[in-house]
Structure 1
């Protein structure tokens, strides 16, 4: 844009000059966002509302607050349609265009102030109706283990889908927690994220069918020979009704009804094995990546607002990679489809038009081939990429995390000591699980560890943060499900360990195997 020149120096007005406290444009925006969400702004927000929309907009209170504007800018001050003099009308329109318009006055009484963060926590503790956000209590995290889901068989997926319908009649009725094991057995367990009487703040009700060969539900095989079976091959619909699976020998994406335990559709559009799946935050689109080097964006079909399967044809087919696609991510809100490949590149397309946007190349000092086994997109569009050098076992920088902005600008990297098996981004945190058995939580913007990694006894196959951000579900190679949450304060640990579920009281010893704290240091 031609923004002219400065009046005195005649210097050309161009890019914004950042203040000294901002390292970059991204840092400037990040710090402004932090400031707008700060305690100071929260404490004074009502004063701004009073000035713009409230009682200080007009009258004596406005005069006292030095908040008076040209009379034409106020709502209802001038009826332009009633003016017959064309010159007067144009003059007033010009004034309004120049001065702007004052918003409608919505309130005539002072607006109450917000609760401070401390007051909000105190109120929440008193009502005792919701769990702690674990990201606000990272030093207090504890791990609890649940056995008997797939003992000795790796747990590939553990997820509590986010939009499950809850009955208002039976309050406290559990949601479904879905698990998928390496032997393709599916479990639908009961999950309650909070109980004031339980020290670990959750109730788990095991699906008894998973251990009985006669009643257990399993996916149709076989899967493609030689394909590594990982959590990226399985997606559960937000209402916990459907399981989408990839990696099948016939290049299909299969859709299974979790309630009926039957395959409801086969979608064969890829020319080679489908290697990874991902769904968006709102459950509108699903993206698949394949060995055929393409990605496909699918619409999740619905009836009456309920997901029932995939559209028969892909919504978009995305090209650009020269080797198989290993990882995908999608954000309908930001119109972004992101794919990572064995060719070492990450490509961004738009969803609506399927338009190629840019190629990202994570930095690597080695000349060996870089691959992109995992990636994730934050709500604000930051792209977190995990890269690995496949051929080498000795390089110090074999594994690394990379951060790119929503506009594809490289921001920073962090060398890792372990091999990441699963990754998710929640708010301003990155949660990763590794094959070396470490659960790590990092700051999104710096990539630094927020706390020391939590050690598990076994390689991690999947990580998932529950929708309340109260627990992290971790699936291990030995078949255990680890539930990481905030330990209850000591003064609240007493109480009866029983609870009404579905109108009947059951002993927690019968329904919760998660009462035992998981201490991997016990057996090394």
Structure 2
């Protein structure tokens, strides 16, 4: 590493692929000549506890503020003004002359030996990239400068995961009074025309009594309110205008958030759990059934939609999973393809949770048989079975699972038949290649769970909202006590708020205590849409008293 004549470059695997550091196939790599020590796994530095820890810290270093602050210097050396000329000499950035673009015209050489000799030199030394810039590249803005710039904009929000010690909760009533909210989500890819910029997005709710709500939502605008603006859908309380999902659910089935999925443009609601084993597609704008797909042989127990909005996966009591393609017309989802893309087998009991990632070509399912199975989407090929560790002889089930952007699989397991909460529930983390990384015992029963960035957000039937670090599974802050069972949770696309649906029908909005504009002491206050009745608009002023769980 100290030899200036040896130019080293870290391959991409150093930043994403911990398996390359281990001799998992047990190849005979020989012995060291002096110590006779057997060569096996790569010896890691002392600051890395495992290959996964090494890769994680490596990537964090690459994406750190220090690297960002010096990124322009690297661009100057490789593509910029320090590649050639006096600036290159001063920066000790000079290479063999044959490596530079245009230094040698091979076509003009008539001597075949000279031509082959130069070609050999070029092949040996490589080629320097094209020089793209003749002037110094500007320095990237620091994280602090970016925050200050966003603060001056009209719609800047704060990432709640960067301000976990400053969270506040607010409640909204009048959506589903006395009836649990089982789904609350702000779809991430709502179509926005130039004329509609700044107008509210749609926040979708579904209640236990099948009532659907499409409410107005603005996470923050300094011209609107202190925290957020919620415009209640008036149809949810009017029996004449209420929109609902058609058809009853299967008798005895527990209605949870896993039975529902919303298209990313907020136009379609997919639902399972119906008595006829169907997956139903409901138009959120019209509140009418537009599709009914019966391919499972028993009740559909769980649904999940991928990050791209291309595929939907369903799990059933018939022990199978089905991957469906979401049909689009002009880039707008209009329903499900009539024929399943893949039918996946392998479980021996009811499928209770599913996850899907089109980018990683990975479908994951958990079952009452205590296993998690990984398969591919495009070919439906079986990859591996994960068996979460459990010391109890009682039946282990997998009520919830989630897949991160990078492919980490978070699995919630529960021991059936155990009457006490002690050691009944646990959280397990697996890598994209199925390696068990860590486990953590839980003190509560998880009702809903999602992975956002490097955090796991969980709600429990004991009424606790928990935020945990994805890699260590440790609590990032003390759980927030919501005082009532939580039925659903979701994180908004800006990472600005967590939406929590409670058993009594309240919608809890958790966000940073003070928005960016209020922090600067320049609070401008005006309600959007002055024609709206104040009873329909909540401006983040009704605080919900939560208690930190010690």
Q: Which TM-score bucket, shorter chain as reference?
A: over 0.9
- Equivalent residue for 1:472, pick from 456, 480, 498: 498
What SS does the corresponding residue of 1:474 show, helix, strand or coil?
strand
Q: Does 1:359 align with 2:388?
A: no
TM-score, normalising length: structure 1: 0.94
Give the structure 1 partner of residue 331 of structure 2. 305
- Give runs of aligned pairs for residues 140-159 of structure 1, distance below 5 A: 140-159=166-185
- Give runs of aligned pairs for residues 494-509 of structure 1, distance below 5 A: 495=523, 497-501=525-529, 506=532
- Equivalent residue for 2:313, pick from 287, 299, 311: 287
Distance in 2 of aligned mates of 1:8 and 1:107? 50
Distance in 2 of aligned mates of 1:264 and 1:82? 69
- Give runs of aligned pairs for residues 59-138 of structure 1, distance below 5 A: 59-138=85-164
Aligned-pair CA distance for 1:450: 0.6
Q: Does 1:47 align with 2:73?
A: yes
| Contact 1:499–1:507 (Cα < 8 Å) also in 2 | no
What SS does the corresponding residue of 1:373 show, helix, strand or coil?
strand
Q: How large is the Cα RMSD of the aligned pairs?
A: 2.1
Residues 425-479 of structure 1 show CA distances to partners (whole Å, capped at 9, x for unaligned) of 0110000000000100011111111111111121101110000000000001100
- Give runs of aligned pairs for residues 17-416 of structure 1, distance below 5 A: 17-196=43-222, 200-394=226-420, 396-416=422-442
Aligned-pair CA distance for 1:514: 3.8
Residues 106-129 of structure 1 show CA distances to partners (whole Å, capped at 9, x for unaligned) of 111111111222222222223343
What SS does the corresponding residue of 1:62 show, helix, strand or coil?
helix
Aligned-pair CA distance for 1:7: 7.2
Instruction: Report the CA distance shift for 1:444/1:491 in structure 2 as closer, same or farther (over 3 A).
Output: closer
Distance in 1 of aligned mates of 2:521 and 2:401? 39
Structure 1: 5+ residue stretches without partners = none
TM-score, normalising length: structure 2: 0.90
| Contact 1:147–1:513 (Cα < 8 Å) also in 2 | no
What SS does the corresponding residue of 2:195 show, helix, strand or coil?
coil
| Contact 2:219–2:496 (Cα < 8 Å) also in 1 | yes
Distance in 2 of aligned mates of 1:178 and 1:82? 68
| Contact 2:227–2:540 (Cα < 8 Å) also in 1 | no
Distance in 1 of aligned mates of 2:111 and 2:286? 74
Report the more deviating stretch, 290-299 or 119-128: 119-128
Residues 134-193 of structure 1 show CA distances to partners (whole Å, capped at 9, x for unaligned) of 101111100000000000000000011111112322432111100000000000000011
Instruction: Report the CA distance shift for 1:398/1:75 in structure 2 as closer, same or farther (over 3 A).
Output: same
Give the structure 2 partner of residue 515 of structure 1. 541
Instruction: Report the CA distance shift for 1:25/1:269 in structure 2 as closer, same or farther (over 3 A).
Output: same
